[in-house]
């Protein structure tokens, strides 16, 4: 019986130590989330307006302007940019992103994948490691990008993707990332990066028209703007993923702390029952011994 009590006490101490860690991680994630949330909230309207403007220009181009980054061609080679996190302990965040990436490959690019023509660029170690472990062609060039998250570092990944697309190394580039909604909610989504998607017009009555005045010239300005807007688009996706990661980790650590409370309550009940049983046994032995002596 004493051995059983000692075992329960050790388990209680272990759970209490784990709970302290989960509470600390929750507080750290909450602090990081506030900063990451402010960054994406400020970035999102600007990035969305630029993307809308670019899609509008591409959709209404009369063909007089060379737009290599918007050129549609038969899809033989595919690049998936998968944005995950560097660390775990954030619930199903990374697993859901990896699952979505595999779903996109299996449903949209199964033929290309069977020929070995699908490549994964992992931004974040978890996505890269998961895809490499399951036999996909994974590139580790940008997997450590979150170690120094900045627009300049994200721009390197964006520029590399644009250059590869322009050279014909890939015919389509897809983004797989998590869009931040709030601390408890993330939307896992896939988004076309290249070629630049056109605005879908449903009938002539609602057809969008680009009402822009180009100075000094349309081709020169578009050639300059396209890469910058695409850099901004990828940076927005990375900021979304960064905020989503901290939100997911904060929620996961909060639930872990609650589970630890429930486990502690159960262990304390077990400890008290075992302690009461030990006391009852000792009292019974004392009474029995006293009775034997008196008899």
Proportion of the chain above pLDDT 90, given as a percent: 63
Residue 62: per-residue pLDDT: 58
Q: Are 176 and 83 in contact (CB under 8 A)?
A: yes
User: Mind listing the pLDDT tens digit for each residue in 25-53?
Assistant: 999 999 999 999 999 999 989 888 888 87
Residue keyed to tokens 């918007």? 70
- The closest alpha carbon to 46, from 212, 231, 185, belongs to 231
Residue 279: per-residue pLDDT: 84
Who wins on pLDDT, 188 or 7?
188
Q: How far apart are CA 189 and CA 174, in angstroms?
A: 10
Sequence-ordered list of residues with C-beta below 8 angstroms from that of 113, at least 6 positions apart, any chain: 78, 105, 106
Tell me the mean pLDDT in the region 95-111.
95
* Domain membership flag for residue 14: no
**Active site members:** 90
Number of domains in the chain: 1
Which residues span the domain enclosing 114? Answer: 45-252
pLDDT band at residue 2 using 50, 70 and 90 as cut-offs: low
pLDDT higher than threshold 80 for residue 202 = no
Q: Which residues of 208-225 are buried (b: 16+ CB within 10 A; e: fewer)?
A: eebeeeeeeebeeebeee
pLDDT band at residue 289 using 50, 70 and 90 as cut-offs: confident
* Domain membership flag for residue 26: no
pLDDT higher than threshold 80 for residue 3 = no
* Domain membership flag for residue 271: no
* Domain membership flag for residue 295: no
66: CATH:
3.40.1380.10
What pTM was estimated for this model as a whole? Answer: 0.84
User: Mind listing the pLDDT tens digit for each residue in 225-271?
Assistant: 888 889 999 999 999 999 999 999 999 999 999 999 999 999 999 88
Q: How far apart are CA 257 and CA 20, in angstroms?
A: 8
* Domain membership flag for residue 231: yes
Least confident interval from 106-115, 186-195, 269-278: 269-278
pLDDT higher than threshold 50 for residue 272 = yes
* Domain membership flag for residue 235: yes
- Supply 165's token pair: 């697309």
Residue 66: per-residue pLDDT: 54
- The closest alpha carbon to 86, from 246, 213, 252, belongs to 246
| Range ranked top by mean pLDDT from 83-87, 207-211, 273-277 | 83-87
Q: How far apart are CA 126 and CA 14, in angstroms?
A: 28
* Domain membership flag for residue 90: yes
Who wins on pLDDT, 118 or 54?
118
- Supply 23's token pair: 């509470």
**Count of C-beta atoms within a 10 Å radius of residue 107:** 8
* Domain membership flag for residue 93: yes
Residue 204: per-residue pLDDT: 45
User: Mind listing the pLDDT tens digit for each residue in 140-164?
Assistant: 999 999 999 999 999 999 999 999 9
Q: Are 211 and 146 in contact (CB under 8 A)?
A: no
Who wins on pLDDT, 219 or 295?
219
Sequence-ordered list of residues with C-beta below 8 angstroms from that of 4, at least 6 positions apart, any chain: 274
């Amino acid at each position: 019986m004493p051995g059983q009590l000692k075992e329960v006490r050790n388990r209680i101490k272990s759970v209490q130590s784990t709970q302290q860690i989960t509470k600390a991680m929750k507080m750290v994630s909450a602090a990081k989330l506030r900063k990451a949330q402010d960054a994406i909230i400020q970035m999102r309207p600007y990035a969305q307006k630029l993307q809308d403007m670019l899609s509008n220009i591409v959709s209404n181009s009369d063909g007089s302007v060379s737009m290599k980054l918007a050129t549609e061609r038969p899809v033989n080679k595919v690049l998936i940019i998968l944005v995950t996190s560097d660390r775990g302990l954030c619930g199903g965040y990374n697993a859901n992103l990896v699952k979505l990436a595999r779903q996109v490959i299996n449903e949209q690019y199964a033929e290309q994948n069977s020929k070995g023509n699908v490549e994964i660029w992992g931004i974040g170690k978890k996505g890269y490691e998961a895809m490499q472990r399951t036999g996909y062609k994974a590139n580790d060039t940008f997997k450590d990008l979150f170690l120094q998250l900045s627009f300049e570092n994200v721009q390197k990944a964006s520029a590399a993707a644009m250059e590869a697309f322009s050279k014909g190394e890939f015919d389509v580039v897809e983004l797989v990332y998590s869009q931040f909604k709030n601390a408890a909610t993330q939307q896992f989504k896939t988004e076309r990066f290249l070629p630049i998607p056109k605005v879908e017009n449903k009938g002539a009555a609602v057809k969008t028209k680009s009402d822009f005045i180009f100075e000094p010239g349309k081709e020169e300005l578009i050639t300059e703007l396209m890469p910058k807007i695409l850099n901004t688009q990828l940076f927005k996706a990375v900021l979304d993923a960064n905020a989503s990661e901290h939100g997911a980790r904060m929620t996961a650590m909060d639930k872990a702390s609650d589970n630890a409370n429930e486990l502690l309550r159960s262990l304390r009940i077990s400890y008290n029952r075992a302690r009461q049983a030990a006391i009852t046994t000792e009292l019974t032995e004392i009474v029995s011994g006293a009775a034997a002596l008196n008899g």
